[in-house]
Structure 1
Amino acid sequence: MDILRFITAGSVDDGKSTLIGRLLYDSQSILDDQLEAISRASKNKQNGEIDLALLTDGLRSEREQGITIDVAYKYFNTSKRKFIIADSPGHVQYTRNMVTGASNSDLAIILIDGRNGVIEQTRRHSFICNLLGIRHFVVCINKMDLVEYSQAQFDKIVADYKEVTKGLDIPNLTFIPVSALDGDNVVEPSEKMAWYEGKPLLRFLEEVDIDKKPQLSSNRFQVQWVIRPQTADHPDYRGYAGKVLSGVYRKGDEVTVLPSGTRSKIKALEINQEEIEEAFAPMSVVLHLEDDIDISRGDMIVPSQASLSPTRQITASICWMDTQPLEPNQFYLLRHNSNTTRVKISDFVHKIDIETLQETTGADKFELNDLGQVQLKTAQEILIDNYKENPANGSFILVDEHSHNTVAAGMVVAVS
């Protein structure tokens, strides 16, 4: 079975935890001891009900103490598919955590309270998911039981959402009315919303087609370590250990080593000292070439027909994650896969006004959770892609040189 990774995003108290709990509960993906534990802790147990939100709210006490929390991951599967859920915090101050969860997701569930409709966090989360290249959006309009399962209210929110996101490139957009508390349209169709003719949420997630077929030209393998044991048993052994960032590599493939531009062929691929016929993302493997080539950490091995040139200047979208603001002409460390180089923020292109999703120019600094575009100049040449063309090789983080804190997540939009 294939794996669908998706993120749930919504404002505080929109019902994310209950929705995830309902998915797990109704799909019978909860272990008996977990079910017993939440049954004992449920406030409504005297009514024979359990509080499904307890399945994902284990960090509630930390949240109440003001401690920054990470993304919570849940795993479950049905007979048709395996799933990994990234449950991101709803508070605006945890936008940076939401970026982390969205960066590895194939699909986004945007949760909207049926009483409140589209709010700022809806726009913020939708923009971030779009920025990170997520192509499938499921807008779950929750708490329909509190608006009397009104089709008119559902239609109004659908129209409002389409209006505020019309400037975003969302190729696959689906709307589902649900009541996570009662289970309507979560796993089974709702008799209370007979006017809705689409699939319930779980069936949609089981059947949605996520195209993950890589293009050969986007194959990327970055060398992390050159292995030369020089032992009596293996006097000529030379392997290049690293991670397949994207695509598939096979024995006999013609490849080019960058930045040198030297060409060769793949002689062998191995994992745990055993040869394999092919390696694909995100496998970590040892790759052998037919020719002895001067290769070092950070070099890239790509198909010979691939187009990838070293650069020192990039334009990138960033989410600022530090309490100390970003100001022009500051220096940081840019970490791109196994490469680290010093970088200067040379210019601010624009910031995003979350209220309108419009670009605003003239900014003099970026503060915590600000989104926008900047221009960067690196001290050394890097081999990096446009994020939308190859997310695995088009993202990076910025690190403070002195504190070593991660201060920003970046996605390349243009390479100079």
Structure 2
Amino acid sequence: MDILRFITAGSVDDGKSTLIGRLLYDSKNILADQLEALEKQSKNKNANGIDLAILTDGLRAEREQGITIDVAYRYFATPKRKFIIADAPGHIQYTRNMITGASNSQLIVILIDARQGVIEQTRRHSIIASLLKMQHVVVAVNKMDLVGYSEEVFNDIKAQYELVAKKLGLPEVAYFPISAFDGDNIVEHSENMPWYKGTTLLDYLEQVPINPHTDSGKARFQVQYVIRPQTEQLHDYRGYAGQVISGVYRKGDPITVLPQNMTTRISKIENNGKETDAVFANQPAVIHIEDDIDISRGDFLVHKDELPEVSQEVEAIVCWLDKKELSEGNKYYLQHKSKVIKAIVKEIEYQIDVNTLEQIPAGQNIRLNEVVKLRLKTASPLVFDRFGESKATGNAILIDETSHSTVGAVMIV
């Protein structure tokens, strides 16, 4: 089965955690002992006698306040698909948490309170989805039970959001009228909204197409580890271990080693300890080559007719994640998957208003949660694709040299 990674987002108290709890509960992905613990801890009980939000609001501060602060991850499966859910915080000051949770997601579920309609935080999260090139957007109009299950209210909110989606150029948007508290249209169709003829939310999540593991993408393989046992039995063994990021690699394929820009051929491929003729996207592999080339951790093996970019200067959109401010001239480690290199901020070009997507002049110091366009210079060549072409090889992180904390989420443009 394939895996769908999606994130829920919305304003505070829109019901994100309750929605995830409902998906887990109604799809029977909660164990008996978990259910017993839920019943004891529940204060805001629904018809089942439990508070479903507790399933994701794991931090003590979140339980006491009834809000989500950190990004909580949950895993569940149905007979059709596996799911990884990120429950993002709703407060403005936790925008960075929402961005980090969305960076690895293929779909975003944006909750809208049926009583409130499209608000500022709805637009903010939609803009972030646009920046992160999300494949699919789901608008779940929640708390329909509090507006009398009104079709008119749902249609009005849908019309409001269609204007936002058109302005941002969101590729695909699906709309669902739901009640996370009561379970309407989430796993089962609602008897309270006979006017809604679409699928349930879970049906949609099970069927929505995501990038399949085929050979349609450009071949990208980054070396994570050079295997050289140097034993008597394996004296000449030299293999390059890693995961196929995209595309397909076959025995005999001509490839280019980057950033060295040297060509060779694949002599052997191992997968799961056995030789194989080909490996595909997301599969681990050990690749052997015909020629003796000096290859290190972080180098790329690519098809010679599908070359990525190689440069020591990159332009990037950066979401700043640290309380210590970002300034021109600051030095950081840039981690691009397995490769870590030193980088300096050469220029901050402009700041992006996450409420409007407008480009505004950047101050000298960039603060927590702000998003900027900047230019980085690296100590050695970086191999990359632009974020719009490949999220996997177009993203990176900035790391503080002294604290080793992650301070910036990077999208190469």
Q: How high is the TM-score relative to the length of structure 2?
A: 0.93
Question: Quick one: distance in 1 between partners of 2:128 and 2:104?
Answer: 13
2:359 corresponds to 1:359 = yes
- Which residues in structure 2 correspond to 1:6-405 (within 5 Å)? 6-43=6-43, 49-61=49-61, 70-213=70-213, 218-271=218-271, 273-405=273-405
CA distance in 1, matches of 2:157, 2:66: 32
Task: Kindly state the Cα deviation for residue 253 of structure 1 after the two structures are TM-superposed.
Answer: 2.1
Identity of aligned residues (%): 55
SS at match of 2:168: coil
Amino acid at match of 1:262: M
User: Contact conserved, 1:346 with 1:377, CA < 8 A, in 2?
Assistant: yes
Compared CA separation, residues 61 and 408, structure 1 to 2 (3 A): same
Q: CA deviation digits over 1:253-305, x for unaligned, max 9?
A: 22111122222221222245432333333333321112222222322100121
What's the offset of the Cα at 1:216?
5.1
What SS does structure 2 have at the residue aligned with 1:407? strand
Is the CA contact (8 Å cut-off) linking 1:218 and 1:390 kept in structure 2?
Answer: no
Aligned pair count reads 413
> Which deviates further from its counterpart, 392-401 or 37-46?
37-46
Task: Give the unaligned 5+ runs of structure 2.
Answer: none
Instruction: Write the distance in 2 (CA, Å) between the matches of 1:46 and 1:115.
Output: 19
Distance 1:65 1:40 in 2: 18
Q: 2:300 & 2:17 partners in 1: Cα distance?
A: 42
Does structure 2 retain, via aligned residues, the 8 Å contact 1:217–1:303?
A: no
Contact 2:188–2:200 (CA<8 Å) still a contact in 1?
yes
Deviation at 1:394, TM superposition (A): 0.9
Distance in 1, Cα, partners of 2:333 & 2:140? 39
Amino acid at match of 2:290: E
Distance of 1:144 and 1:66 partners within structure 2: 20
> How big is the alpha-carbon RMSD for the aligned residues of Structure 1 and Structure 2?
2.3
Structure 2 Cα separation of the partners of residues 307 and 152 of structure 1: 52
> Alpha-carbon deviations, 1:342-383, whole Å to 9, x = none?
222222222222332322234433211112311112221111
- SS at structure 2 position matched to 1:356: coil
Change (3 A) 1:159 1:216: closer
Alpha-carbon separation, structure 2, partners of 1:225 and 1:335: 16
Does the 8 Å CA contact 1:133/1:388 hold for their aligned counterparts? yes
Query: For each residue in 1:380-401, what CA deviation from the matched residue of structure 2 results, as whole angstroms up to 9, or x when unmatched?
Result: 1111110121111111111122
Q: Would you say the 8 A contact 2:68–2:88 is kept in 1?
A: no
State the TM-score, normalizing by the size of structure 1.
Answer: 0.92
Residues in 1 aligned to 2:356 and 2:245: alpha-carbon distance in whole angstroms: 35
* Residues 399 and 408, structure 2, Cα contact 8 Å, conserved in 1: yes
Q: Distance in 1 between matches of 2:411 and 2:222?
A: 18
Flag structure 1 segments of 5+ consecutive residues without an equivalent: none
